[in-house]
Structure 1
Amino acid sequence: MKKLTEREDQIMQIIWQTNGLFIRDIVAELPEPKPHYNTVATIVKILVKKGFLESTKIGNIDRYSALIPLDDYRKKHVEDIKKKYFGNSLTKMMAHFAKQEKLSDSEIEELITIIKSKKS
């Protein structure tokens, strides 16, 4: 699975939150300064070519929806980060985030609960 560029990711985040959008709707959801319609259309066509999006013709307009679910994309790239930066160690990766994020006591308890529930 290919990695998304920053702008592609921004567009995919919008599409993952919906059941599908037209290009004009994607443009409307993007932050200011909004890119030109043609710029978004070009990026969307690239995402179709990469296999991230599919288009459905409604009248003479294409509606775009995700082919790759957010969870699948996230899982793949978290695994890549774990391998590349943490020697494929989940413990090292979690320790890094625990130290960097300055977790609250309730967040630590929540993580402990999640980890314990995975053991059973």
Structure 2
Amino acid sequence: MIKTQAMDINGKELTRAEEQIMQILWDIRKGFVKDILQRLPPPKPAYSTVSTIVRILVQKGYAGYRAYGKTHEYFPLVSREAYRSHTAKKLLQHYFDNSVGSLVSFFVDKKKIDVQEADEIIKLLRDFKKEES
């Protein structure tokens, strides 16, 4: 049996633990609970805890599985890029009034952007401006 139906991720936010498991699934592309558990940093949670979290990810539509008897091989249904886009959009809406400028200004004010990153952002903006002209 294969469970592969992706759901809309709006309203189905991930907890920190669920997001950590999804990061591993994105990295390994598919795997069993034991494979996920191996990649978690110490202190490692119990096998049953990881299994429960993965089943929640399936219920939320983030992961699917292929059943081999009682064993399940899990894989992501939502891409890392789709989740990144969803999370960035939510961040902009809820904390920065949909303003990328406010977001960048926040990081500049908090000194979270170094000169090299600032140069990269400026280059990206110049390239974008050229494409739009």
TM-score by length of 1: 0.92
1:62 equivalent to 2:72? Answer: yes
Structure 2 SS opposite 1:56: strand
Shift of 1:59: 6.0
Distance, in Å, in 2 between the alignment partners of 1:49 and 1:103 is: 38
Q: Deviations over 1:46-79 (max 9, x none)?
A: 1001000000134652111100001111111111
1:83 equivalent to 2:120? Answer: no
What residue in structure 1 maps to residue 123 of structure 2?
Answer: 113
Q: 1:107 to 1:42 in 2, by over 3 A?
A: same
What residue in structure 1 maps to residue 20 of structure 2?
Answer: 10
Shift of 1:102: 3.9
Amino acid of the residue matched to residue 40 of structure 1?
V
Moved more, 102-111 or 85-94: 102-111
Please identify which structure carries the higher helix content: 1
Structure 2: give runs of 5+ residues left out of the alignment.
Answer: 1-8
**What stretches of structure 1 move > 4 A for 4+ residues in a row?**
none
Q: RMSD in angstroms over aligned alpha carbons?
A: 1.4
Distance, in Å, in 1 between the alignment partners of 2:29 and 2:62 is: 14
Number of equivalences = 120
Q: Which has the higher relative contact order, 1 or 2, with Cα contacts under 8 A spaced 6 or more apart?
A: 2
Structure 2 SS opposite 1:17: helix
What residue in structure 1 maps to residue 50 of structure 2?
Answer: 40
